[in-house]
Chains A and B, each alone.
Chain A
Amino acid sequence: MTGTLTLDGSATGAPVPAVSGTPPAEAGAPALVVEDLSVRRGSVHLVESTSLSVAKGETLCLVGESGCGKSLTCTAMMGLTNAPLAAEGSIRVLGREISGLPERRLNGVRGRDVAMIFQDPMAALNPIQRVGAQVAEILSVHGEASRTERRREVLALFERVGLPDPERQARAYPHQLSGGMCQRVMIAMAIACRPRILIADEPTTALDVTIQAQILRLLRELQDETGMAMIFVTHDLGVVAEIADRVAVMYSGRVVEEAGVDEIFDAPRHPYTRALMACRVGTGQPGEVLPAITGSVPAPSARPAGCVFAPRCDHAGPPCLVRPRLKARMSGARVACHLGEGAA
């Protein structure tokens, strides 16, 4: 491990480190590589041959509308796909293949190497156990020595995620805490074993905007300290602008565009990415007609032949009857669209 988690500076008091567009210096080595990942229910592919990778110290944002397969991709990366769903493809965590590993071996990877934060903290926490004990349990499962040691660690973690008065909060039950507080407990739980990869599935969607800002800042600070890789799922492009280094846009079970965050905002290539950018509320003039995308995301069982976005696309033409492959452009971006193919 290159970075260690410092447990003394409180989240509120510590100065926010200046973050540039490039990931930290030790970055570069791939932490998580997903190749040809598919998740299917029977013969219906909910996620189709998706390939993604995230490097140490880097944040990859997965964006797209609901039903595009973002969350399924995350749970598959954690090896949490359960019947009737089935996942196929390769998932390499720190160079080690984890797909097909037996449950017992996977449990050594989850929490320790890869940790996950879910959207609804209230649903993810045990309602009848004190939150301190829930975090301590993670530490004991992964072999933290003594009871007093664990207790000290839990309090340090609570302090680190900015929970005021850790002693008191550790004794609280989830229902006694607000949504933002519960999400901090979830983050404390996720970083308890200093994971190398953190998967965050819409961690701020259920939170108020001021709490969201605090949580995003906290995650970035933790990343700067530990050099962990982050996969961050969101449908909010504002959140993407706040936290992403790289962005993968998903549409109906596939990645349709992947590029650096500045490129996604300044020069989006795929018509779906462009449309998503255009229909954001609050960026244009108040009251003006928003450039909405007509229709909605097709159900996985009713995807059209050819390009899946074509029925909603303003630029669709005859070539779109053939499904475009995700191809690398000269800039390093990957785009699945016939439009502008051959150009830069």
Chain B
Amino acid sequence: MTDPILALKGVTRRYRTGGGFFSKETITTAVDDVSLTVAPGEVCAIVGESGSGKSTLARIAAGFDLPDGGAALFRGAPYARPGSAAWRRERAVVQFVFQNPSGALDPRASIASQIGEMLTTHERCDPATRAARIDDILDRVGLAGMGRRVPQQMSGGQLQRAVLARALVVRPELLICDEAVSALDVSVQAQILNLLMSLKDEFGLTMIFITHDLGVARHVGDRIAVMQKGRIVENRRTHYLFDSPRAAYTRTLLAAIPAATPAARRAREAAAARETAA
């Protein structure tokens, strides 16, 4: 067994909420004693409903946020304290893609310059190499020749491609996608998922894929971790999870997925009616 790229050991993260003039301070446990390992080349999907703690877990996995308890180990070592020099050096190896691409890009700068800035921040390279690397990555995400555009001149799908290009240009080892396709229309979502899957093979990427959409999780994930109220209630290989869910909450989630066809819906309802009658 190879060493995991990322290991979370009993990670806990609490937030203080309230405590203003009107309300009593309470402590919310967003992530509660979570352990999870991600092997090289693996895609681990994390699913859960809003407020389940999946985004907090993603931030801890990326080293953006330190846990209050437990440890987040990247290649066996804990992340450096956010803001330190060592922390900035680590930034290149773990990249993060957010839900809203237009919020993640500078509206005034061209796509190429934003990708270039990523390169100059993390690597030393001469202008010619830099230009070649930018062209290469734009080509791979399907934005060849569009480097001079600014975000306003691009569609939602193109923007998410640009965000991916910027994340991948520094050749990260771990890519964390937090609802990266949730805001996109189905046809564009399919384009981006296809792109992610092919880039994953090409770059040998390890990925953590946070989504609320079980269909997306099933499509991309080698493994799915189901979160509820800050805890992982089930964490198994994708087809096992779908074929024989163990946790009651997983079964609830799977049962709530809308039917694939009206015929499937009627079959489900007929079965439920028989069960009620019996």
Q: Residues on A close to B: CB < 8 A? A: 15-16, 18-21, 65-66, 179, 208-213, 216, 235-239, 241-242, 244, 261-262, 265-266, 275-276, 279-283, 286-287, 289-294, 296-297
Are B270 and A208 touching (Cβ within 8 A)? no
Point out the residues of chain A lying under 8 angstroms from B194, CB to CB: 289-290, 292
Contacts A244-B262, A262-B262, A283-B260 given: A296-B190 contact, CB under 8 Å? no
Are B269 and A235 touching (Cβ within 8 A)? no
The answer to whether B204 has its CB under 8 Å from any CB of chain A is: no
Point out the residues of chain A lying under 8 angstroms from B155, CB to CB: 296
Are B259 and A281 touching (Cβ within 8 A)? no
25 A-B pairs in the complex with CB atoms less than 8 angstroms apart: A19-B266, A65-B187, A209-B257, A210-B49, A212-B256, A212-B258, A213-B255, A241-B261, A242-B259, A242-B265, A244-B262, A275-B187, A280-B186, A280-B260, A281-B186, A281-B189, A281-B215, A281-B219, A283-B215, A286-B218, A286-B219, A286-B220, A286-B238, A293-B191, A296-B185
Give B264's nearest chain A residue, CB to CB: A241
Known: A235-B186, A262-B263, A281-B190. 5 other contacts (CB 8 A): A19-B266, A281-B218, A290-B194, A296-B155, A296-B156
Selected from B188, B252, B270, the residue in CB contact (under 8 A) with A210 is B252
Are A290 and B193 touching (Cβ within 8 A)? yes
Are B212 and A209 touching (Cβ within 8 A)? yes
Point out the residues of chain A lying under 8 angstroms from B261, CB to CB: 241, 265-266
Give A242's nearest chain B residue, CB to CB: B258
Selected from B190, B213, B214, B220, the residue in CB contact (under 8 A) with A291 is B190
Are A287 and B220 touching (Cβ within 8 A)? yes
CB under 8 Å from chain A, chain B span 213-255 = 213-216, 218-221, 238-239, 252-253, 255
Closest CB of chain B to A296's CB: distance in Å? 5
Point out the residues of chain B lying under 8 angstroms from A292, CB to CB: 187-188, 190-191, 194
Closest CB of chain A to B145's CB: distance in Å? 15
Q: How far is the CA of A16 from the CA of B276 in the complex (A)?
A: 10
Are B186 and A282 touching (Cβ within 8 A)? no
Closest CB of chain A to B149's CB: distance in Å? 15
Give B221's nearest chain A residue, CB to CB: A286
Point out the residues of chain A lying under 8 angstroms from B157, CB to CB: 296
Q: How far is the CA of A216 from the CA of B263 in the complex (A)?
A: 17
Point out the residues of chain A lying under 8 angstroms from B263, CB to CB: 262, 265-266
Selected from B49, B252, B264, B269, the residue in CB contact (under 8 A) with A16 is B269
Point out the residues of chain A lying under 8 angstroms from B273, CB to CB: 18
- For the residues of B in contact with A, the DSSP-based class is helix
Q: How far is the CA of A294 from the CA of B263 in the complex (A)?
A: 29
Q: How far is the CA of A87 from the CA of B259 in the complex (A)?
A: 36
Are B187 and A15 touching (Cβ within 8 A)? no
Q: How far is the CA of A20 from the CA of B265 in the complex (A)?
A: 10
Selected from A208, A242, A280, A293, the residue in CB contact (under 8 A) with B212 is A208
Closest CB of chain B to A187's CB: distance in Å? 18
Q: How far is the CA of A241 from the CA of B267 in the complex (A)?
A: 12
Give A67's nearest chain B residue, CB to CB: B185
Selected from B188, B197, B212, B264, the residue in CB contact (under 8 A) with A287 is B197
Give A272's nearest chain B residue, CB to CB: B187
Give B254's nearest chain A residue, CB to CB: A209
Q: How far is the CA of A290 from the CA of B191 in the complex (A)?
A: 8
Closest CB of chain B to A274's CB: distance in Å? 12
Q: How far is the CA of A286 from the CA of B213 in the complex (A)?
A: 14
Q: How far is the CA of A208 from the CA of B48 in the complex (A)?
A: 9
Q: How far is the CA of A242 from the CA of B49 in the complex (A)?
A: 20
Contacts A281-B213, A281-B215, A296-B188 given: A209-B253 contact, CB under 8 Å? yes
Report the 3 A-B pairs with minimum CB-CB distance, sorted nearest first.
A282-B215, A238-B258, A292-B190
Give B185's nearest chain A residue, CB to CB: A65
Point out the residues of chain B lying under 8 angstroms from A18, CB to CB: 269-270, 273
Interface centre among A208, A244, A294 (most CB of B within 10 A): A208
Point out the residues of chain B lying under 8 angstroms from A296, CB to CB: 155-157, 185, 187-188
Q: How far is the CA of A65 from the CA of B263 in the complex (A)?
A: 24
Q: How far is the CA of A290 from the CA of B196 in the complex (A)?
A: 12
Are A208 and B185 touching (Cβ within 8 A)? no
The answer to whether B120 has its CB under 8 Å from any CB of chain A is: no
Point out the residues of chain B lying under 8 angstroms from A287, CB to CB: 197, 219-220
The answer to whether B272 has its CB under 8 Å from any CB of chain A is: yes
Closest CB of chain A to B18's CB: distance in Å? 12
Are A282 and B216 touching (Cβ within 8 A)? yes
Are B258 and A236 touching (Cβ within 8 A)? yes
Closest CB of chain B to A6's CB: distance in Å? 19
Interface centre among B185, B216, B260, B265 (most CB of A within 10 A): B185
Point out the residues of chain B lying under 8 angstroms from A282, CB to CB: 213-216, 218-219, 257
Are A294 and B191 touching (Cβ within 8 A)? yes
Give B186's nearest chain A residue, CB to CB: A279
Q: How far is the CA of A211 from the CA of B212 in the complex (A)?
A: 13
